[in-house]
Chain A
Amino acid sequence: AQTVTQSQPEMSVQEAETVTLSCTYDTSESDYYLFWYKQPPSRQMILVIRQEAYKQQNATENRFSVNFQKAAKSFSLKISDSQLGDAAMYFCAYISNFGNEKLTFGTGTRLTIIP
């Protein structure tokens, strides 16, 4: 079974600075997708970014980028120019590309932005 580990329960960053959230996963599969979801205080779940395992290029979405290291099974999220609205729980998630379509989530990292 796949597992997703987020080892940082809480992180904080100064506004306008850069922060990196860590995620590791365990799988025997070679083809899969990885996601970062944001859960603000409203408790909505918002898709932030997606990475396909067969693509070597790291995904980017505006101020959000990932560092995907397939051999190390590592998938970190970098947030540049942090803004107050980035304060949220961030969840890393894995999904197989072999028909098992459930997302497996990590336990989350709570990000605080310091003004």
Chain B
Amino acid sequence: GAGVSQSPRYKVTKRGQDVALRCDPISGHVSLYWYRQALGQGPEFLTYFNYEAQQDKSGLPNDRFSAERPEGSISTLTIQRTEQRDSAMYRCASSLDSGLGSSYEQYFGPGTRLTVT
């Protein structure tokens, strides 16, 4: 079946503009995660959802960042008033289940490379 998809794959925006990044998880996957990866670093956690409920948003850097998953499937990560320091690869992942007894295997999408000029 199809893997995790993300759009757009590349986004160039001017400082101060808002951007919306989309993630479509593997069908049937309960949990959805957002990570940010700077060049030469490992991904860093931003937030995650079980179904439509946002379980943890402790990794969101500030209140310009928000995420939603209104119907428990597709998710959108929104960055308002973008700044140059927001430039990075934004990765989405999904997993089949969550909680105790879960396999915790997260499958990643190809990422959205965001460049803020």
Interface residues of A (CB under 8 A from B): 4, 33, 35, 37, 42-47, 50, 91, 93, 95, 97, 99-108
Contacts and interface: CB of A to CB of B under 8 A. Distances in A.
Nearest to A4: B42
The range of chain B's interface size is 20 to 34
Interface in B57-96: 59, 89, 91, 93
Contacts, number: 63
A44 B47 CA distance: 20
Contact of A102 (B41, B59, B91, B100): B59
Interface of B: 31, 33, 35, 40-45, 48, 55-56, 59, 89, 91, 93, 98-100, 102-108, 110-111
Given A50-B103, A93-B42, A101 B98 contact: yes
B103 A101 contact: no
Contacts of B48: 101-102
B104 A101 contact: yes
